[in-house]
Every structure is written in C-alpha cells, then in structure tokens.
Amino acid sequence: MKKWIPWLTVIVLAGWLLSTLRQPPETGFHTRDFGRLPVLLNGRIQPFDSVARNSLLQIRARQSLDDATADQWLVELMMQPAAADKRPIFRIDNIELLNLLGLPEKQKYYSFNELQPHGDDVDKQAQRIDHIDASDRSVFEQQLMKLYNAMQMYQQLKLTLCPVDSKDLGIELAVYQKLIPDGVAAVRAKEAGKKYDDATLTEFLGFLAAFDDMSKYALPLVVPPLQGAKSRDDWQNLGATLMSLSRGEDLNPATQSYVAMVAAYQNNRPDDFNQALDQYHQWVGQWYPAETAKGVHEAFYNFFQAFYKAIILYVLAFLLAVIALLTFAIAPKASETLRRTAFYLIIFTGLIHTFAIIFRMVLEGRPPVTNLYSSAIFIGWGCVVLGLILERVFAVGLGAAVASFAGFVTLVIAQNLAIDGDTMEMMRAVLDTNFWLATHVVVVTLGYASTFMSGFLAITYILLGLFTPMLIQKIGTGQVELGKILTKMVYAIVCFATLFSFTGTVLGGIWADQSWGRFWGWDPKENGALLIVLWNAIILHARWGGLVRDRGIMNLAVFGNIVTSFSWFGVNMLGIGLHSYGFMEAAFKWLMLFIGTQVAIIILGLLPTKFWKSFEAKKPAPAVKA
C-alpha cells in the first residue's frame, strides 16, 4: 500500500528540522554573533554562547530566559549589570531556603537584587556546609550550596568585561590611560617618601583596584595570548590586561575591541557595538583561526540542539511503531505502512543522533564517551542501531518500537545530566588518553546498551503476552509467531551483550594495568561491569542447560536492566572508588523508581500462563459431551 507515505513523512519532518536551523538576520545588538567569540573557560576554548547557556543552566535550569536568549542575557550581565540584576533568573524551589532568605514562596525565579540583601546569610551557611561531605548534606544544604555557587558564578561573570560601577568604559579607559604617567609617578613618590598629588594617587589607585577585582574574579578568559606568548593556553582576562597598561605594556587589540563593545552597549549604540564586534571577529579570525572556528562551530552545535530534536522525533516514531504493532492483526496493510514510516523515521533520527555525536567528538577531539552525560547519549545510539538491525532482519515493528523508546529515554536522561553545566569538561590526568577512551569506554558502553536492549525487548514480550494475544499471532512473510521472534531477538542481543561487556570489562582491566599496575582492583565500577558480564553469562548458560524456557529468559533479561542500571548509575552513588562522580540525590530517586518498575514487570512475568492473554487461548477446548 501507499509506498510514498513513509517517504513523505520523513521528508516533511526533515523539512521541519531544516526550518529550525534558519536564523533570521539580527537587528539591534548582534548578540548572537557576539556569542560565537572564543574564550577560555574550564580549561578549554569555547564560545561565549556556551558560557551563557551553561551558566544559565546552573542558575535557572534552562538554557534561555522567557524574554531573552542566553547570549542577550550574558551580554547584558557583562556590560550593563545593573539591568541584569533586575531579571528574576535564580531558580529556588526549596521552601526552607526561601524561608531562610525571607522571600515570598509563590515565585519560581528571583532576581539578584532580591537575593543580594541576604547574601551574607547564604555565605555564612555555605561556609558551614562546605565542611560537610557532599553525600551527607541534607536537601536544604544541597540547595543552598547550589544557590551559593550560582550567585558566586553570577558575580564573577559580571566582572568579565567591566568594573561593577562602570558607566562608560571607553571614557574611563581614556582617563585611566592619560592618568598612568602621573599616577605611577605619584605611587613612586609616595614610596620614596617624597611629595605627591593626593587626588591623582587616589584616582589612579581607584582604577587599579577596580581592574584588580576584575582580574582576580572574572570567570572566562577573554583576551587571547599575543604573538610570542609561551603557550597557546596563555589567555588572560580583561582586568589583567587593563592592569598591565600601568606597567607600560601596550593596549592589547582584543582589549581595545572589547572596551569599544562595552562602551557602545553602555551608551545604547547598536551600530558602534556591531562595528567593534565585526572588527574583533576579523582580528581574532586572522590570528586565532582554530579558536575562532571552534567558537563558531560550538555555537552552532548549541543552537542546533540536535539531541533535543531527536527526542521529539523518537517519540513520534515510537508512537507510530506501537500503533503498527497493535494493529497488525486488524489492519495488516495500514500497520505495515505505519511500521515502515516508523522505521524510516528512526533511521533519519538516528542519522541526526550520529551526526551530533560526531560533531561533539570533533569539537572535543575525543572519542564519543567522556562522562556520564555522553555515556547516556552513546547508550541510546547503541540501542537505536541494534534496534534498527533487528527491524531490518525481522521487520515486525518490535525493533523499531524498542529502538525509538530507548533513544527517547536515554536522551531524556542525558538532558537531565546536562543540568550541571559544561558537558565537554576536560579530562582529568588519568583519563586523558584517547586510546583507552576509544576502546574500553566505547565497548563497555555498547555492552550496557545491548544489555538494556535485551531487557527492553523482554519487557515487550511480557507486556504483550500478558495483556494481548499477540505472542501467538503469526506475522511477517515467514508467518512466524511473534513470541518466537522475540525470543530469538532477546537471545541474539544477549549474545552481543556478553561479547561487548566481557571485552569492555577486560579492556578496562588492561587500562588499569597500564596506568597503575593492577589488572583488577575490585573498584565498584569494575565490579559493576563484571556483574553485567556474569549476568549475561547466566542467561546464556541457563538457556543452554534448559534450566529456563522462553518466559524465564525474558524475566532474566528484565533483571539485566536492574544489573545494568546499578552498574551505570548505582555504583557512582556509593561515593567510593576511582569512578565515583559524587552523590546524585535526584538520580538516586529515579534509579530506585526504575528498579521498582523492573521488579514489578518481573513479578508480572512470573504469573502462571493461565493469566497470559497470549497463552490462555492454547488451553484445550472443553470436551464436548456426546
């Protein structure tokens, strides 16, 4: 039937995706263009746009404001802080914390001006809490630390491009430059105990104090190292370069451009701002082409939000696949069209998923998995690929349903893991090895993905079997029972999972042997990986030994989800070992919830066959009395 429907659907959705990539030309201040400028923060080159988005994530738990983009907000914060201080952006949910600060409970977001009078209370509490182990902190204490860190970061960002009370940085710079000879002379004279002009000295020292504050606290380093600097990493902040003028150094071209931009913004002159911005873009592009390209590309990556869009498409595909699955007995032709549509749509979404992963890898110069966030994205990718292969081989909609479901869930998990800010942080010394990140980490992550995949397939078996008669319905060209197909799928995936998890685990051991001389150290994360290997081995051996039948294998595979989630997330929550990333309160709640659902499904799976819709039909018909 209608062969063009699947194609049309994909083309329409691709059109939608492309339309989201169109950026209308900017009017007023070109903040979007400003967002592409490269700076150095967290030890890596990134665009202002990433600074803006990641800071907002930590402050507001969103990447933008209701009435401003992240870039617009950051520009305002750095150039006209008084205006930014009025914006309600600090998200506070904890009632205890609100009571402490004496703030009304009905709002969700609070402005810096509202918080500032209580800054001392926050500081005092934070100093106390700082001594408590992160895992021992109460919810209130965690929330307070979060607010404290957000406020610190906010105030540091403010000092990036101008002193707190700056009115017109252009004029101030001119005054300061003119003052330098007399100011320096006054300082020398005072030191030597000679006569000096008190007014000159005070004014000069006032400038220095303001710039010194900037140089000490400003967060991103915005001024690239000049030619002849020792290292390409030798970026400076604006305050430091302004200070250095008093030591007789020349005005850095970057500093000059930034001052021009700030002055234009302060005087509300968009054209001057844009002109200074263009000039600086040209200059930095000429001297720092790699850094500039990184900034532009990462800003595009941020703007694309590929993973977010993939979530939407996966949900759509999942709905199509489920409807296809539920209707194949009633309306086989329509069902096949839907299945095909879902299949194509998942391929398309998978390509976007892949593209975004590769884009990220190139930006970072790293293999795909570098932290928990990227492991979620990669597990999702692995599940989608496995699901697509299953769909291609069996063509019954099951692979598509599970692929899109796994893709959707893992990407949602990733979005929630990204809330802490920068997801492309630099790798600590021992992890700084692309070889092992590319082998051990990738393989073991594929092991997680395939174990989850078999678990998800097993869940469909149990749910379909219990609540529908579908497991014994014949499907596809071969007219094989759906239940039999599912059994084959789960078995095949468990085999893959064994291969990946074993190889990945042993490769991890070899890495450990390479870096600290111990192949196996019983570290929690190692143990977690080993648990997955053993669990998959149990499933295989139990099947070969005839100890379990189809339903038993399904229940074992569902339990594999519990084992994998423990290994992926649970061990990080123990707060011990080399792989621990700190306690994650919220994640713990979700993990428990997930394990609860899996246990419930296993209990359902243990129900005797007479309760299974798919198998009750097999009961022999009652004998008819003669």
Q: Which residues bind another protein (CB under 8 A)?
A: 40-44, 221, 231, 233-235, 393, 425-426, 428-430, 432-433, 436, 478, 492, 495-496, 498-499, 502-503, 506-507, 509-511, 513-524, 527-528, 530-531, 534-535, 537-538, 541-542, 544-545, 547, 563, 566, 571, 574-577
3-state secondary structure 524-541: HHHHHHHHHHHHHHHHHH
Query: Alpha carbon of 247 to those of 15, 210, 242, 260: distances in Å?
Result: 57, 16, 10, 22
Cβ–Cβ < 8 Å for 462, 609: no
Measured from the CB atom, the residue of 312 and 534 that comes closer to another protein is 534
Residue 596 in tokens: 């609860």
In the chain, the largest separation of any two C-alpha atoms, in whole Å, equals 130
Residues with Cβ within 8 Å of 132's Cβ and at least 6 positions away in sequence, in order, are: 141
Measured from the CB atom, the residue of 432 and 616 that comes closer to another protein is 432
Residues with Cβ within 8 Å of 585's Cβ and at least 6 positions away in sequence, in order, are: 139, 142
Measured from the CB atom, the residue of 115 and 437 that comes closer to another protein is 437
Residue 493 in tokens: 């995936």
Measured from the CB atom, the residue of 61 and 290 that comes closer to another protein is 290
Relative orientation angle of helices 198-217 and 169-192, to the nearest 10 degrees: 120
Paired sense of beta strands 474-475 and 480-481, if any:
antiparallel
What is the closest distance, in whole angstroms, from the C-beta atom of residue 498 to another protein in the complex?
Answer: 7
What is the closest distance, in whole angstroms, from the C-beta atom of residue 282 to another protein in the complex?
Answer: 25
Measured from the CB atom, the residue of 1 and 429 that comes closer to another protein is 429
Cα separation, 68 vs 11, whole angstroms:
32
What is the closest distance, in whole angstroms, from the C-beta atom of residue 296 to another protein in the complex?
Answer: 21
| CA within 13 Å, CB half, 70 | 23
What is the closest distance, in whole angstroms, from the C-beta atom of residue 233 to another protein in the complex?
Answer: 4
Measured from the CB atom, the residue of 250 and 513 that comes closer to another protein is 513
What is the closest distance, in whole angstroms, from the C-beta atom of residue 359 to another protein in the complex?
Answer: 22
3-state secondary structure 174-201: HHHHHHHHHHHHHHHHHHHCCCCCHHHH
What is the closest distance, in whole angstroms, from the C-beta atom of residue 339 to another protein in the complex?
Answer: 18
Cα separation, 529 vs 216, whole angstroms:
44
Cα separation, 522 vs 444, whole angstroms:
17
Neighbour count for residue 209 (Cβ, 10 Å): 10
What is the closest distance, in whole angstroms, from the C-beta atom of residue 158 to another protein in the complex?
Answer: 17
Measured from the CB atom, the residue of 218 and 383 that comes closer to another protein is 218
Nearest to 68 by CA among 115, 114, 28, 38: 28
> 88, exposed or middle or buried, with CB in 10 Å at 0-12, 13-18, 19+?
middle
Measured from the CB atom, the residue of 350 and 524 that comes closer to another protein is 524
What is the closest distance, in whole angstroms, from the C-beta atom of residue 580 to another protein in the complex?
Answer: 11
Cα separation, 174 vs 178, whole angstroms:
6
What is the closest distance, in whole angstroms, from the C-beta atom of residue 232 to another protein in the complex?
Answer: 9
Measured from the CB atom, the residue of 104 and 546 that comes closer to another protein is 546
| DSSP 8-state secondary structure symbol assigned to residue 567 | I
What is the closest distance, in whole angstroms, from the C-beta atom of residue 535 to another protein in the complex?
Answer: 6
Cβ–Cβ < 8 Å for 554, 548: no
Cα separation, 508 vs 506, whole angstroms:
5
Cα separation, 280 vs 71, whole angstroms:
17
What is the closest distance, in whole angstroms, from the C-beta atom of residue 46 to another protein in the complex?
Answer: 12
Measured from the CB atom, the residue of 163 and 524 that comes closer to another protein is 524
**DSSP string across 409-441:** HHHHHHHHHGGGS-SSPPPPGGG--HHHIIIII
Measured from the CB atom, the residue of 92 and 219 that comes closer to another protein is 219
Amino acid at the residue 267: N
Measured from the CB atom, the residue of 312 and 537 that comes closer to another protein is 537
Cβ–Cβ < 8 Å for 454, 560: yes
Measured from the CB atom, the residue of 399 and 528 that comes closer to another protein is 528
What is the closest distance, in whole angstroms, from the C-beta atom of residue 623 to another protein in the complex?
Answer: 39
Nearest to 547 by CA among 539, 555, 558, 557: 539
What is the closest distance, in whole angstroms, from the C-beta atom of residue 362 to another protein in the complex?
Answer: 20
Residue 19 in tokens: 């339309």
